[in-house]
Amino acid sequence: MLSRVLSKMAIFRVPETAFPYLEKSILLLMSVFVFVIPFPFNAAISEICFYGSVAVFIVLIALKKTRPSFDTPLTFPFSLLVFWALCGISFALNKENTTHDIVYHLLKQLAVFYLLITFFCTVKRFHYLTWIILISSTLFSIGSAFYYYVILENAITSRLSLPQIDVGTNYFGYISILAIIISLTYAARTSRLYRKMMMLVPLFVAAITCLLTATRGTILGVIAPLILLAPKYKMLSAVSIVIIAFIVLLTPAKDLLTPKNLIDKIERDDRTLIWAAYGRAIKEFPITGIGFGMQIYDENLYRKYNLQLPTAGRPVEKFQGPHNIFVDIAVRLGLVGLLIFLYLTFNFMKMGWRLIKRGRDDFIRSWALGVMVIFVSYLIQGLFSDLFLSAQAIWFFIVLALMTILHRLNKNPDNGTVTV
């Protein structure tokens, strides 16, 4: 019906040769959208690129020049997640914010996922997307370090963090692992030495940025997944670990990784106390949770459950978020929502494992391994920080999209967009 209406409107009477350019406009807009994700003050250009892509996509669908593809192992868990989040509106402590965050965050993140797997689903465009991520994350790392240590004149021993532009310490880990793994994968897949050396540059930059945050969860989330690469890339993994170890000795991270410091942190870490406080919220709302909206995490909610803890077991500092992805989901969507997220995680890892073991060629197997390492890193970092917050939530869905593109390419090597 909509296609017939549009086809009769003069503005949509365009020659067939124009439709490939509309498709390319989505590629351009989404490329810019992904590129600006790490940078602050990107709201205007990000919104223009996203909603411009959606608008062109809807026109192409209405005129039957393309069609969305929901044939992925993640579509069903996505559907369950959205359904359960919508069901939680009735029980949410803040219904308005919950509705807002479902529409303008969760559904937007899913739209980004489906736009990427629809329009970047060729080998060439996959490379294009990974290069955008690599360049963007590397420039962000360089710019952040320069601004913090040179312009703001902070001591090199101080922890890298830019709260004045809404960039927290934990965010750097989610950016760093993208650059590290993408550069390692490109280095492993080339036989030319100078290209391998070139790929070590963004790895070196990302490793320095990560370690300058002097955050244990971030460092663990970046270093530990590299072990997964060791069986396939022995030499590169060894070189990467040596580089990171060398950087550790030159940064504040060296003081965090001593046995005594690690033991003290485990014994006195406020995060376990935060989890205990929000465990009371899970106990009070075990099925539906308190609602999907992030603004529900205010000081009053935290104080309510914190006061239920024994005085000796209360965190010294004030934290509004749980600082743990699994606790966060259980609080906001209940234990049912947590099971849905675990189901989503299982489907992703099952898809990735099959590609790593039985991918049709080395391109699929190598990149599936790299994306899996990034995903594992995100889960590890998510144990100590808020993964579904701000830009890192978008990165999470982009990582899901990267693996899904590989899955579709493995099924159909000639797969691409379906615009005609």
pLDDT tens-place string over residues 33-86:
999 999 888 889 999 999 999 999 998 888 877 777 888 999 999 999 999 999
* Spatial distance between the Cα atoms of 119 and 27, rounded to a whole number of angstroms: 7
**Can you tell me the mean pLDDT for 120-134?**
95
pTM for this prediction: 0.89
* Spatial distance between the Cα atoms of 275 and 170, rounded to a whole number of angstroms: 18
User: What tokens appear for 177 in the block?
Assistant: 């692992």
Of the listed ranges 80-84, 249-253, 281-285, the least confidently predicted one is 249-253
- End-to-end Cα spacing for the chain: 20
Residue 163 pLDDT class (50, 70, 90 cuts): confident
**Can you tell me the mean pLDDT for 316-343?**
86
Q: Which residue has the higher pLDDT, 160 or 9?
A: 160
* Spatial distance between the Cα atoms of 234 and 337, rounded to a whole number of angstroms: 39
Measuring CA to CA, how many Å separate 302 from each of 208, 289, 385, 389? 34, 15, 16, 17
- What local confidence, expressed as pLDDT, does residue 419 receive? 36
Per the CB < 8 A criterion, the answer to whether 252 and 290 are in contact is no
SS3 288: coil
> What distance separates the 2 farthest-apart alpha carbons in the chain?
74
Q: Is the pLDDT of residue 365 over 50?
A: yes
Q: Is the pLDDT of residue 89 over 90?
A: yes
Alpha helices by DSSP H, listed for 12-150, are 19-36, 43-62, 75-87, 95-101, 107-119, 123-146
Residue type, 194: Y
Within a 10 A sphere around the Cβ of 48, how many other Cβ atoms?
13
DSSP state, 296?
A: G
**Can you tell me the mean pLDDT for 383-390?**
83
Condensed to tens digits (0 to 9), the pLDDT of residues 209-229 reads: 887 877 777 777 777 777 777
Of the listed ranges 30-34, 167-171, 223-227, 238-242, the least confidently predicted one is 238-242
Q: Is the pLDDT of residue 317 over 70?
A: no
Within a 10 A sphere around the Cβ of 341, how many other Cβ atoms?
21
Q: Is the pLDDT of residue 416 over 50?
A: no
User: What tokens appear for 17 in the block?
Assistant: 């040769």
- What local confidence, expressed as pLDDT, does residue 35 receive? 96
Tell me which residue of 296, 275, 276, 274 sits closest to 91, measured CA to CA.
Answer: 296
Answer left, alpha or beta for residue 156, where phi above 0 means left and psi between -120 and 50 means alpha: alpha
* Spatial distance between the Cα atoms of 32 and 9, rounded to a whole number of angstroms: 30
